[in-house]
Structure 1
Amino acid sequence: MSLRLMVQGTSSDVGKSLLCTALCRIFARKGYRVAPFKSQNMALNSYVTSDGKEIGRAQGVQAEAAGVEATVDMNPILLKPKGDMTSQVVVRGVPLQDMSAVEYRQNYIPQALQVVKESLDRLRSEFEVLIIEGAGSPAEINLKSRDIANMKIAELADAPVILVADIDRGGVFASIVGTLELLEAAERNRVKGFIINKFRGDIRLLAPGIDWLEKRTGIPVLGVVPYRRNLYIESEDSVVLDSLTAAAAGQNQIDVAVIRFPFISNFTDVDPLRFEPDVSLRFVADVDQLGMPDLVILPGTKNTVDDLVWLKRSGLAEAIRCRAKDGRVLGICGGYQMLGSRLFDPDFVESDLPELEGLGLLDVTTRFLPQKTTVQAQGTVLTLPAQSAVLSGLPVEGYEIHMGQSERGKRVAPFCRLESENGRKQEEGAVNETGTVIGTYLHGILHNDSFRRILLDQIRIGKGLAPLETTVSNHRRRQEAFDEWADTVETELDMERLFSIMKMFEERSVIK
């Protein structure tokens, strides 16, 4: 048996993922073997497990906070949107097929529920504590009949539910009471506490509202968690990018512009740049915002072809080509594919266009294939030309998630030599003749401290600035962030009461 807790929200983006991350860390520090679980996740930020399977990035991060290896059981169903009505359905880490929302709900949900149940049962047998994350809201009336993410999962796990509400967006008491009113009696009985999240201000001003809420519902408020800025914990939802999208560069010495594609994915690749002391990091979705950045990054995308078409129509494609003459450009995964001369899609894997011209900044062609590559990899940067020569020989590691294969022409050099966890060895990526344009399939390339700092220092030298001697440790900062966030949440929550709720449900399950 295991202790279980399910964290649900009154809506999306109330902070469920981050609270689950904190709880994973808190219980791990108490000596428990902890696992995160989210039955069905819809996200474009994904994580590759050590055996080359794909899950939602939030569960990978939560596993890291818990100090355990991430597995597909922690997120057995992953939906990766490819458009307004279609998603790639990933089951136990492997793409199944693209489905419309109607097709998925009507035809696949019963099979998905069985997959979810099997993963949940395995985790319950292997771990002492399960921190289960819901999705959206449990009170979506139009979705409840086919729910495999909220109350149905709480029932399967026989887990108590803590309901989280975001006070920063306003209407916190209405959202909590309204959610409860829309639940069935048995579902309401499973809700054993509330967490009010993202609070700013004097807690004394909130006390009358908390008293009213507890009297009205008979359910305790277990804590009020303060609004936190600049947590170095990766986000799953691209809504967080709104605060990083700016029309002008900041005051720091290196200006980095990341292209915010409509189908941007794995944007956490650039997270370490947020904490470099000399970098202004901004996300750009309009040609007027681009300006004259020192480095342009084309990140990953779930739909390379459609995002490339958008890039051209927006005017950003031509602006990037012009900027590449004096600045640097880095393309990662789908961004790498766009930098090439041509993209071929004869099997219509990505879109309904069989062929499309790329940006032409790299002598590379890409052919999309039905098979998906998902591997962790590590290796060494090869001997690079001209302005990237100083990067040569650096060790790098990361992961690949892509459905295309790229072929280099004569006017580029390979970027690195990689060995994947499955034993595959290859020369990967491409660099142009001047060393100013780099493309790679290696997600996480900027999480490599030496590579990131040396790349930035070369930009500094080109601007007549001295290189920085200090290097931000990505790994250390992540671990410190987990502990700092766990400290905050543990301080603000009534952990003794929370633990007693979990213990009560465990004992009830034993009796059953």
Structure 2
Amino acid sequence: MAKTIMLQGTGSHVGKSILTTALCRIFRQDAMRVVPFKAQNMALNSYVTKTGGEMGRAQVVQAEAAGLEPVVEMNPVLLKPTGNACSQVIVLGRPVGTMSAKEYHSGYSTQALQVIKECLRKLHAEYDVIVIEGAGSPAEVNLKANDIVNMRIAKLAPAPVLLVADIDRGGALASVVGTLELLEPDERDLVKGIIINKFRGDISLLQPALDFLEQKTGKPVVGVVPYLEHLGIDDEDSVSLDDKRPDGRGEVEIAVLRLPKISNFTDFDALASEAGVTVRYVRQGEPLGKPDLIVLPGSKNTTEDLLYLRRSGYDREILRLVDAGTPIVGICGGYQMLGREIRDPYRTESDNERVDGLRLLDTVTTFAPEKITHQVTARCISHGFLGLGHDETDLQGYEIHMGRTEFTGPVQPAFIITSRSGKPCYHADGVVRSDGLVMGTYIHGIFDNDKYRRAVVNALRVRKGLAPLATVTDIQAKKQANYDRLAEVVRNSLNMELLYHIMGVR
């Protein structure tokens, strides 16, 4: 059987995902076959595997750090909130229905346990080490009876637990002591150490607190990890958008509407990594300003988010800016919003049967019960967005959508999809308006393609009278360097000898 280690937190957003990523990279560097695992993930940032299965983005990042191709067994259960205390439930990459929180926790969650057990069994047989991530806090007493992601998984794995606390937000010591106090004795025994995360300042001033914590809890502090900024690593959910404040205004500014149900905002991380580019997430009440490009991102509830744009007046701002010559891109749900109308006859996403779109594209979208999920290969042939005469084949991306978009007049497609889930095809994707100012596409990750992204950025620069950039950024190489940087900091912050002892690794 594989050796295991599990990271649980005193709460959400304490850094479990990033620390799991770091450990995956460290164990890989130490010549072990390591795999990440999270039994149940709740997030709107998702990814499509080569076989067309949908899984949480955090486990994709962790798989990349481990040098692995992502597979759904790393995240067997994914919950995608749709609103009104409901979530779409995805098991082994496929939707099984939309459930209320009560329906899921009181009934279905324990049914999924058998799937989780089978995934763990498979990973134990194939790898040397499994790094397991929990969710939220193990001390949420109202959820413990139907827990399938924290202490029940620690017992099932079985796995020693490291408890992670975020000291940057304050109250870390109290949260550690309180969490341990609320655990059952056998659960408390599974906790073999504590990690203090996101520390700023002089660690010598923290030492008395660490000594107190060890004495009070009887658990060793395995390490203190510093606050890490500008990691350049994909985030798990929209909570992290609160940290995405631009340091200043770059030569090119891209404004992304932060929709209430925004999904897959990692589509724009590669743009933010470009020299001279500022990606600004426009929060409710903030003006759109005068950006060089507007982006409507994906959404888990497209009609509700479209109504949000209308209530908050952003629809009028968008139309005014586009009329004045500002370009706009819509991806997935954002693409659907750019059309004339969105229909949901089966109430797939909400109770809104029909909502008028922004009418910037001659399209009508109808939601269907079946979800389309594919990794895709596409080509771009001088589609005219921003006046681009850019030709490129083998663009990589993925589709996740339930809408079917039809054209109400002659249109210029944005891309031609040449393969779906590895099978050759010829499928027109998206639309570019005849004036080159409006583009919509279903392809997530399109800006992760280095040459295409640079062509778009350079077109924006030329529109402003700026010289185009010559050197193309290699996003994948940059990601790998960021994983190495993260691993180095975390390795130097933890007592690795103690950690290996806890895991039973010699």
8 Å CA contact 1:343–1:365 kept in 2: the answer is: yes
Alignment map for 1:229-308 (pairs within 5 Å): 229-244=229-244, 250-286=248-284, 288-308=286-306
8 Å CA contact 2:386–2:460 kept in 1: the answer is: no
Listed as ranges, the gaps of 5+ residues in structure 2 are none
Structure 2 counterpart SS, 1:390: coil
- State the Cα deviation string for residues 220-255 of structure 1 (Å, max 9, x = none): 101100001000110012111113357xx9431111
Give, in whole Å, the separation in 1 of the partners of 2:26 and 2:231: 16
Aligned match of 2:339: 340
Q: Which amino acid aligns with 1:486?
A: A
Aligned match of 2:307: 309
Give, in whole Å, the separation in 2 of the partners of 1:465 and 1:68: 40
Q: CA deviation at 1:451?
A: 1.0
Percentage of identical aligned residues: 52
Give, in whole Å, the separation in 2 of the partners of 1:453 and 1:187: 51
Give, in whole Å, the separation in 1 of the partners of 2:268 and 2:384: 24
Q: Does 1:125 align with 2:134?
A: no
Q: CA deviation at 1:344?
A: 1.5
Moved more, 160-169 or 340-349: 340-349
Q: CA deviation at 1:289?
A: 1.9
Q: CA deviation at 1:422?
A: 4.2
Q: CA deviation at 1:387?
A: 3.3
8 Å CA contact 1:332–1:439 kept in 2: the answer is: yes
**Paired positions, count:** 503
Aligned match of 2:461: 460
Q: CA deviation at 1:461?
A: 0.9
Q: CA deviation at 1:459?
A: 1.1
Alignment map for 1:163-182 (pairs within 5 Å): 163-182=163-182
8 Å CA contact 1:394–1:450 kept in 2: the answer is: no
Aligned match of 2:395: 396
8 Å CA contact 1:411–1:433 kept in 2: the answer is: no
Moved more, 208-217 or 148-157: 208-217
Q: Which amino acid aligns with 1:402?
A: H
Q: Which runs of 4+ in 1 moved over 6 A?
A: none
Aligned match of 1:382: 381
Q: CA deviation at 1:95?
A: 0.3
8 Å CA contact 2:385–2:432 kept in 1: the answer is: no
Aligned match of 1:509: none
Give, in whole Å, the separation in 2 of the partners of 1:390 and 1:225: 47
Alignment map for 1:45-60 (pairs within 5 Å): 45-60=45-60
- State the Cα deviation string for residues 374-397 of structure 1 (Å, max 9, x = none): 110112113323733323335421
Q: Which amino acid aligns with 1:68?
A: L
Q: Which amino acid aligns with 1:370?
A: P
Structure 2 counterpart SS, 1:222: strand
8 Å CA contact 2:381–2:389 kept in 1: the answer is: no
Give, in whole Å, the separation in 1 of the partners of 2:73 and 2:282: 36
Structure 2 counterpart SS, 1:290: coil
Q: Which amino acid aligns with 1:449?
A: D
Give, in whole Å, the separation in 1 of the partners of 2:147 and 2:386: 54
- State the Cα deviation string for residues 101-120 of structure 1 (Å, max 9, x = none): 11111111221111111111
Q: Which amino acid aligns with 1:344?
A: R
Give, in whole Å, the separation in 1 of the partners of 2:252 and 2:285: 19
Aligned match of 2:354: 355
Structure 2 counterpart SS, 1:140: coil
Give, in whole Å, the separation in 1 of the partners of 2:167 and 2:388: 51
Q: CA deviation at 1:462?
A: 1.1
TM-score by length of 1: 0.96
Change (3 A) 1:412 1:250: farther
Q: Which amino acid aligns with 1:89?
A: V
Structure 2 counterpart SS, 1:98: strand
Change (3 A) 1:304 1:148: same
Aligned match of 1:510: none
Change (3 A) 1:216 1:135: same
Change (3 A) 1:101 1:156: same
Aligned match of 2:217: 217
Q: Which amino acid aligns with 1:128?
A: D
8 Å CA contact 2:306–2:357 kept in 1: the answer is: yes
TM-score by length of 2: 0.97
Q: CA deviation at 1:171?
A: 0.9
Listed as ranges, the gaps of 5+ residues in structure 1 are 507-512
Give, in whole Å, the separation in 2 of the partners of 1:349 and 1:101: 17
Give, in whole Å, the separation in 2 of the partners of 1:187 and 1:107: 23
CA RMSD after TM alignment: 1.5
